Structure 1
């Protein structure tokens, strides 16, 4: 979740899991109602996931989950 900073352990796990998957998407969930996301923390996640070469979005990947493609 973007409410926490990306740590090396989490990124290593995401990277390892993505190497075992045919395709990987990361869904950065929105803040709960009445709360705001830290924009710097969200940017940190974007940069970390870009560094891993992973596609990420802030909207639910429902089409991809249902059909296997965007």
Structure 2
């Protein structure tokens, strides 16, 4: 799942939700919502920004999003 992948990668990098939010340019509530499943349909721009910060290929995250459906 996208939420699990983002959480796992964030934790591997030793980033808090606040730091990921700051680096990606999105609100902490956005990161929290994605990770806990409240936001199951984040915008493409948000996913791109998070992927860039985490160093995850976008196609890997995109595939996770498709697998959820």
**TM-score, normalised with respect to structure 2:** 0.30
More helix as a share of residues:
2
Higher radius of gyration, 1 or 2? 1
